[in-house]
Each structure stands twice: as structure tokens, then as C-alpha cells.
């Protein structure tokens, strides 16, 4: 078996363009739940949002780095874990928060704010935490990743569709209401379909190496959910908000992770398998956790 650090997965430029377009549609569908007034409301009571963003962009990367120091996985796998931790929350987090009886408005706002913040914080976290661990730092030097280029890519894929969706919902609420649910279901369906097709094109690689990353992804996702829960608990937010923060921290935008991996790291095997496995596993744990949380009503 070849070293996973040297495996490059099959992913054509056309497939990458398609994934970029899909992610833009996903971001647009999320933004249809937001209005400019929502941001003004959050500015008057920002604590849950700030706690959630701290959990997402500070607590999770720190826990990820400590996990890597303890377990010392292969370099490309470690870099994949760092990259996933540096991404904002995934689009299914809003659906799962709703199922869990948590604060869906907070979840949607966290996704939106984290997506905007990711333009700067995602490349920073990738570069900063990877540089502190020798094996991942070596990959960074070989790929010469440019944080500015990452920020530009994120801005085009995430920020612009998010702004367009918010403006449409603010100034044409009737149209936004009519297309909101169809767009959300469509975006989720095409995103999942793309992940399935991408896995099918690399199925032999995935089968060969999934076992190598499975336990690490299980631990990593557990740390993400646990870190979100503990951060929200220590901050003293309500149970209603705590559910949203826990789920938002534990559901990562693995689609964005795959785009960054294939755009800037050439589809490096360990990274791609980590992101793909995360995309499957976080949906399973999120739905199971939501089913457990929904048994009791959260206090506000």
C-alpha cells in the first residue's frame, strides 16, 4: 500500500468548478433566512454569537492541535484535520439545530457570520496551526499556500452569495419566501449528490485509507461537539443557545474543505479522505445528537 501522504485523488478542473458553484448555491440558500435587521438585533445581544464564533475559530483549532500533538497522525491527515477545524460551520447545522430544539436563528446567524469571518480566519488558522507542527509545516512549504489567495477564493465562493441572499430577503421578502425552502432542499440534494459522485470516482482510495482516518475523525468530531458544549456551558448561555453552539461547532463545512484541498493542495490524499469522511460522519453524529436533545425542551 502506498503512503497516503503521497496519494493524489481524482478530481478534474470541471469538477472543482462545479463544486464551487454548488457551494455558492448553498451559501445563497442559507442567506435567504437572514435579513439586515437580524444583524442589528444580534448587535444588541451579541453574547451567544460571540461565544459560538470563539468556539468555532479558537476552541476547536486549539483542541485539534492538541489532539495532533498527542496522537501524531501522518502529515497529510494532520493537515486535513487542521483544515477542517479552520472551516466555518456546515450548511446542515441549521437543519440539525432545528431538529434538536435549539436556537435555529442563532445557528443560521453563526453560519453567516462564520462564513464571512472565514475569509480571514480560515487561511490564518490553517497557516498558523500547521506551522507549529513540523510535518504539516513541511507540506505548507512545499505547496506555498498563499493566505491572500485563499481569502479571495473564500470571498468569491462564500461572501458574495451570502450578501446577495441577505439583500434579496431584505428588499424582496416575498420572492425570498417563495424560493427559500426549494433552494435549501435543492442545495442540500446537489451537494450530497456531488459528494457521492466524488467518492465513487475515488472509491478504491477511500476504501483503502478510510480505516486509517476513521478513528481520528471520530475523536476529532467528538472534541468539536464536546468543545462547543463546554464553551457554551462555561459562558453561561441558555440551554436553547447551547444546543445551537454545540451543533454549529461540531458540524463543519467539509465541502469548503474539499475545495481548498483540491485548489491549493492538489487533492492530497490524507487531507481529502479526512474531509470526505468528516462530511459523512458529522451528519450521522449531528442527527443522532439532535434526536437525543429533542427529547427534552430547551429552556430559553
pLDDT at residue number 9: 56
Q: For 4-293, which CATH class?
A: mainly alpha
Instruction: Please calculate the CA angle 93-288-236 and round it to the nearest 5 degrees.
Output: 60
Least confident window among 3-7, 116-120, 154-158, 235-239: 3-7
Within 40-183, strands assigned E span none
Q: Which residue has the higher pLDDT, 231 or 182?
A: 231
H helices present in 132-172, as ranges? 134-143, 147-154, 160-171
Of 141, 123, 143, 27, which Cα lies nearest the Cα of 82?
123
Spatial CB neighbours of 300, under 8 Å, sequence gap ≥ 6: 103, 238, 239, 240
> Binning pLDDT at 50, 70 and 90, where does residue 224 land?
very high
> Binning pLDDT at 50, 70 and 90, where does residue 1 land?
very low
Instruction: With H, G, I as helix, E, B as strand and everything else as coil, classify residue 10.
Output: coil
- Average pLDDT of the chain, as a whole number: 83
Whole-structure pTM value? 0.82
Interhelix angle 75-86/60-71, rounded to 10 degrees, is 170
Average pLDDT (172-197) is 79
Q: Which residue has the higher pLDDT, 21 or 83?
A: 83
Answer for the pair 261, 255: CB distance below 8 angstroms, yes or no.
no
* Range 207-212, long-range pairs (CB < 8 A, 24+ positions): 208/1, 209/4, 209/7, 209/269, 209/270, 209/273, 210/273, 210/277, 212/4, 212/74, 212/77, 212/273
The 10s digit of each residue's pLDDT in 266-283 is: 777 788 888 888 887 888
> Binning pLDDT at 50, 70 and 90, where does residue 8 land?
low
Average pLDDT (41-67) is 91
pLDDT at residue number 12: 57
pLDDT at residue 41 is higher than 60? yes
Least confident window among 146-150, 167-171, 224-228: 146-150
Answer for the pair 194, 19: CB distance below 8 angstroms, yes or no.
yes
pLDDT at residue 2 is higher than 60? no
Answer for the pair 11, 262: CB distance below 8 angstroms, yes or no.
yes
Average pLDDT (134-161) is 78
User: Rounded to an integer, what distance in angstroms lies between the CA atom of residue 25 and that of residue 108?
Assistant: 15
Q: How far is CA 69 from the centre of its chain?
A: 22
Domain positions in the chain are 4-293
Which strand (E) or helix (H) includes residue 248? Answer: helix 239-250
Amino acid at each position: 500500500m502506498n503512503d497516503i501522504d503521497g496519494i493524489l485523488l481524482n478530481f478534474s478542473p470541471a469538477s472543482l468548478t462545479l463544486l464551487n458553484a454548488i457551494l455558492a448555491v448553498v451559501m445563497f440558500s442559507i442567506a435567504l433566512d437572514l435579513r439586515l435587521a437580524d444583524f442589528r438585533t444580534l448587535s444588541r445581544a451579541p453574547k451567544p454569537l460571540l461565544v459560538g464564533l470563539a468556539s468555532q475559530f479558537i476552541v476547536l483549532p486549539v483542541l485539534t492541535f492538541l489532539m495532533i500533538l498527542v496522537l501524531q497522525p501522518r502529515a497529510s491527515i494532520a493537515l486535513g484535520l487542521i483544515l477542517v477545524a479552520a472551516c466555518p460551520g456546515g450548511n446542515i447545522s441549521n437543519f440539525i439545530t432545528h431538529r434538536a430544539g435549539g436556537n435555529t436563528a442563532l445557528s443560521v446567524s453563526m453560519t453567516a457570520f462564520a462564513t464571512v469571518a472565514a475569509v480571514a480566519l480560515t487561511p490564518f488558522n490553517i497557516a498558523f496551526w500547521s506551522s507549529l507542527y513540523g510535518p504539516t509545516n513541511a507540506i505548507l512549504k512545499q505547496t506555498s499556500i498563499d493566505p491572500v489567495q485563499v481569502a479571495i477564493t473564500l470571498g468569491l465562493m462564500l461572501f458574495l452569495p451570502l450578501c446577495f441572499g441577505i439583500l434579496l430577503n431584505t428588499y424582496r421578502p416575498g420572492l425570498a419566501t417563495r424560493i427559500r425552502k426549494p433552494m435549501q432542499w435543492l442545495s442540500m440534494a446537489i451537494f450530497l449528490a456531488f459528494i457521492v459522485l466524488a467518492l465513487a470516482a475515488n472509491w478504491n482510495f477511500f476504501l483503502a485509507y478510510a480505516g486509517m482516518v476513521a478513528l481520528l475523525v471520530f475523536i476529532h468530531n467528538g472534541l468539536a461537539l464536546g468543545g462547543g458544549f463546554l464553551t457554551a456551558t462555561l459562558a453561561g448561555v441558555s440551554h436553547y443557545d447551547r444546543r445551537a453552539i454545540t451543533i454549529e461547532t461540531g458540524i463543519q463545512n467539509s465541502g469548503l474543505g474539499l475545495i481548498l484541498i483540491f485548489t491549493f493542495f492538489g487533492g492530497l490524499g490524507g487531507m481529502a479522505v479526512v474531509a470526505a469522511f468528516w462530511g459523512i460522519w458529522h451528519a450521522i453524529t449531528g442527527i443522532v445528537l439532535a434526536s437525543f436533545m429533542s427529547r427534552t425542551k430547551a429552556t430559553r
